[in-house]
Every structure is written in structure tokens, then in C-alpha cells.
Structure 1
Amino acid sequence: MIDHFSSSRHRGSLFARIITAPATRFVALLALCAAYIQGPLTKLFDFQGAIAEMNHFGLHPAAFFAVAVIAFELVASAMVVSGILRWAGALALAGFTLFATLIALRFWELPPGMDRMMATNAFFEHLGLAGAFIIVATIDLTKGAGK
């Protein structure tokens, strides 16, 4: 007869090893930063589009803000993924996300309907991202980046 408890402990142990593996952590941090890597790369390859985006949100001089956002997102993402001052990069991305969310996703100003619902969902998803970055910073500060 199969011992159910030892079998489930073994699976839990394997699951725990997979979840806590350095490769899993790396992939999870990369996924968390994916939008902050993809966005600036898109802006680099379509710099006129990046300038148009800054103008759309009233950020002037637009070219300066486009370059600043590109550099900021790439550097902060690299910090989070690499572990070099991970807590600082994570807190910077949390603050940036909150600030950008308040500028770009002002759902309360939209009339009821699909656009408002989509902006509301995106607003709260971005709050979740900011919260995740704060959790990353907390873990990094309390346990150390290499642990």
C-alpha cells in the first residue's frame, strides 16, 4: 500500500525546490519587470512614438522625458533582475508605477462604459504591480539579495 503522507510530502518537497530554485526566482523577477523592459525597447525602436506618448500625457520637453523613462525603466529593471540593489530598483519601479498610473489611468474621469471599465481594471492591475515590487523590496531588505 502506498503511504499517502510520505508521497505528498515528497511532492511538496519537489514543488518547494522548484519554486525556490534560483532559476524560478530569476524568471519570476524577469516576468515582473517584463513591461518595464518591453516598454523602453519599444520606445527605442519608435522614438517618435515615445515622444508622441510624452506629449499625450503633457510631459515636456517630450524628448527629455522619453529618454529619461527609457533609461529609468531599463536600469531599474536590471537592478531588480540582477539583484544589484534590488530593493532600490523595486521601490523605484513601485513609485514610478504609482505615479504613471495616476497620470495615465484616470478612470474616474471617463464616462461609464467599456473604456472606463478597461481603465479601471488596468489601474488596479498597476496597483498590484506596485505592491509586488514593494514585496520584492521587503524580502530583499529583510533576507538579503543573495539568499
Structure 2
Amino acid sequence: MTAISYSKPRSILTEIASASALRTIALLALCAAYIQGPVTKIADFGGALAEMDHFGLHPAAFFAVTVIVFELVASAMVVTGFFRWVGALALAGFTILATFIALRFWEMTPGMERMMATNAFFEHLGLAGAFVFVAAYDLTKGAGK
């Protein structure tokens, strides 16, 4: 009787998961909201100003431009690997800060809007956690890959 070996399938899965193209696609997916958001703000700068006003961020133009530049630069750092850990931690911190500003579900009246804000709040915490994981991986094992 021979033992079943799982090393070959695990080896194939490891190769697929560590493939450069797959890693780039995964990092692009992780940064998708931080790429789409600034592009939308650039296309509708008036809307970006209104968003900053809505959240009490003044002067609105300064905050809109800062957010646009920040999100694009930090996303580029994560995707390209140029100080990936810095970009990932910056996006994690930004996400937590923005989440506490924009998704204050505990102040809302119970109902559909509160439920959606609650779900989005915790989804954003998960996203921030993923960025922390990317930074930790980059610092310990993935630097230069």
C-alpha cells in the first residue's frame, strides 16, 4: 500500500498563487476602489468638492486634490512594489480614517440605510486588514518580488 502524496498539487497551487501576473491582478483588485475613486473625482471634480463638503472637510478643493493624489500614488506603490509596505499601510490607515468619517452607522436611525452603512463599515475594516497583511508579507517574505 502506498501513501498518497499531496506535495505535487500543493506545489502547483503554490506556483499559481505566487505567479507574478496573478499577484499583480490581486493587488489591482485590492486597490480597485482607490483607483476608481480618484478617476471618478477627476471626471466630476464638482462632485468631489460636494463630497468633501458633505463630510465637513474644508477647504474642499485642498482635500479633494489631496485624496486624489494620495489614492493614486499609494495604489501605484502597492501594485508596482515600490515601497509596497508603505503604500499598503498608508491605504490601511486612510481606509480606517475614512470609514470612521463616512460610515457612522451608530448615529443612524435603524433601517435599511443603517444596515448598509454597518455592512460597509465592517467591509472597510476587512479591506484595511488586507492592506496590513500585504504590508506584513512584503516586509517579511515578499520584498523585491
Name the TM-score, length of structure 2 as normaliser. Answer: 0.94
Aligned partner of 1:27 in structure 2 is 25
1:102-121 aligned within 5 A: 102-121=100-119
Gaps of 5+ in 1: none
* Cα deviation, residue 11, structure 1: 2.9
Q: Which runs of 4+ in 1 moved over 4 A?
A: none
* Cα deviation, residue 4, structure 1: 8.7
* Cα deviation, residue 23, structure 1: 1.0
What is the letter of the counterpart of residue 76 of structure 1?
Answer: A
Summarize deviations over 1:119-147 as a string: whole Å, max 9, x none. 00000000001111011111111124224
Work out the CA distance in 1 between the residues paired with 2:97 and 2:117: 15
Summarize deviations over 1:77-132 as a string: whole Å, max 9, x none. 00000000001000100000000000000000011111111000000000001111
Aligned partner of 1:126 in structure 2 is 124
Identity of counterpart residues, as a percentage? Answer: 72
Summarize deviations over 1:60-83 as a string: whole Å, max 9, x none. 110111000000000000000000
1:1-147 aligned within 5 A: 5-6=4-5, 9-147=7-145
**Matched length:** 144
Specify the SS of the correspondent of 2:110. Answer: coil
Q: Which moved more, 1:9-18 or 1:112-121?
A: 9-18
Gaps of 5+ in 2: none
Q: Which moved more, 1:14-23 or 1:118-127?
A: 14-23
Work out the CA distance in 2 between the residues paired with 1:5 and 1:78: 44
Specify the SS of the correspondent of 2:58. Answer: coil
Specify the SS of the correspondent of 2:128. Answer: helix
* Aligned CA-pair RMSD: 1.4
